[in-house]
Amino acid sequence: MNQPSSNLINMEIIEDLISLSPTGGVEVLEEIIEAFIQSGHSRVQKLIQGATTQDAKVLSFEAHSFKSSSGNVGSLKIPSLCIELEKSAHQGQVANATQLVNQIQKEFDALKTALLQILKDRSK
Amino acid sequence: MYNILLIEDNPDFQLLVNKAISNDRTKVLTASTTHEGFTLLQSHPVHLILLEVDLPDRNGFDWYAEIQEHDQFKDILAIFLTIKGEVSNKVTAFSLGAEDYWVKPIQPLELRVRVEAKLRKIQQKKAIDNIMRKGNLRLHVAFQKAYLVENDQERTIKLTPTEFRILHYLARLEEHVLSRNQILAEVWGNDSNVFDRTVDAHVSALRKKLSPYSGCIESILGEGYRFLSPKKLESI
């Protein structure tokens, strides 16, 4: 079952992104969401790989970047998971990385669905 | 047009900044590394730098310290825009002379208004820098106004736009003898309906308005006009 958007996303940021469009349409939001989903897939794959190989450097770098990117589209959950992962990886503690990466992947999938739903609703 | 150099390796954030602050008077030049940033800095006039601290090729602080050593870049306002919120980093940035330090995430509208505020500051500085001082004469280029300073008081000289352009052109090239044709080309452009005697009429009117410093525009027989250097102007 999908989570409501308000549990996943800071809607104030979505409204902000919509207001960036000179026409008041969703084109800027759409472009930013598409770029986020595309880069998000790649980051999640790198995190999975980093957790599998227990590569602290990769985990730290990708978690650091994903924290910022997901915050840009208003994610309420991914940044805190990334902070936790980055902190652990920075200290060389990668044993629980797989569990955190799984959570990040799950939240990314939910966020993606919610963002696309918002886009669909706002495009009507 | 303002050029803002963004040095940031995260493509999502590059896009966001572009969408937030690009408009018909602000262009964002995007670099993913300090190396690319330096190339853009050398090839474009840059008014503001937005800079990440953690960059793939080197630390943003080190790069900023290095460009501060170049005379042509040291006056460009730089703002660190980074996810690193620690006080020690802020101290480093401000110690290096950064204009500001903004911590991500930053909402796009907030980013837009913050950047606009900085651009207004640049514009004000530019206006101050645009005052040309020639002895007792002040030319406020941005506002196209001329003043004479007497006894520490500024007196506005009411010039027409054409008179201001002539005076500005002559003052800019002080001591150079400028022919009527050169003045025509500079002030009127390609308007073929204007004759060289028109220049004489405007210069004559200009001199009257500059009284008692009329002599700062000298007629050079058979050649044209020359603006005297500030030292000479003060002694007139």
pLDDT tens digits for chain B (236 residues)?
899 999 999 999 999 999 999 998 899 999 999 999 999 999 999 999 999 998 989 999 999 999 999 888 988 999 999 888 889 999 999 999 999 999 988 889 999 999 999 999 888 877 777 788 888 888 988 788 999 888 878 889 999 999 999 999 999 888 889 999 899 988 888 666 777 788 999 999 999 999 888 889 999 988 999 998 655 555 44
Note whether B168 and B132 are within 8 A (CB): yes
CA B65 to chain centre: 23
CA A47 to chain centre: 12
A88-to-A49, A99, B132, B197 alpha-carbon distances in Å: 16, 12, 59, 81
B57-to-A98, B31, B88, B216 alpha-carbon distances in Å: 29, 12, 22, 55
Minimum-distance CB partner of B19 among A13, A28, A64:
A28
Of B136, B3, B166, residue with least CA distance to B77: B3
- Looking at the complex, report in whole angstroms how far the Cα of residue A62 sits from the nearest Cα belonging to chain B: 11
Hey, is the C-beta of A79 within 8 angstroms of any chain B C-beta?
A: yes
Are A35 and B13 inside 8 Å of each other by CB? no
Are B10 and A16 inside 8 Å of each other by CB? no
Three-state SS string across B103-150, please?
Answer: ECCCCHHHHHHHHHHHHHHHHHHHHHHCEEEECCEEEECCCCEEEEEE
Of B169, B122, B121, B163, residue with least CA distance to B145: B163
What pLDDT score was predicted for residue B30? 98
What pLDDT score was predicted for residue B229? 62
How far apart CA A111 and CA A119 sit, in angstroms, is 12
Note whether B74 and B80 are within 8 A (CB): no
Interface of A with B in 44-73 (CB under 8 A): 64-65, 67-69, 71-72
What pLDDT score was predicted for residue B175? 85
* Interval B150-173: pLDDT, tens: 887 888 999 999 999 999 999 988
Task: From chain B, pick out residues whose CB is under 8 angstroms from the CB of A19.
Answer: 109
Task: From chain A, pick out residues whose CB is under 8 angstroms from the CB of B54.
Answer: 64
Minimum-distance CB partner of B15 among A35, A65, A68:
A35
What pLDDT score was predicted for residue B236? 46
Minimum-distance CB partner of A68 among B10, B108, B109:
B10
Are B11 and A39 inside 8 Å of each other by CB? yes
* Count of alpha carbons within 13 angstroms of residue A119, beta-carbon side: 16
ipTM over cut 0.85: no
* Interval B210-226: pLDDT, tens: 988 888 999 998 899 99
Written as one letter, the residue type at A11 is M
What pLDDT score was predicted for residue B3? 94
- Looking at the complex, report in whole angstroms how far the Cα of residue A47 sits from the nearest Cα belonging to chain B: 16
**How is residue A102 written in tokens?**
């799984």
pLDDT tens digits for chain A (124 residues)?
566 667 899 999 999 999 998 888 899 999 999 999 999 999 999 999 999 999 999 999 999 889 989 999 999 999 999 999 999 998 988 888 999 999 999 999 999 999 999 999 988 7
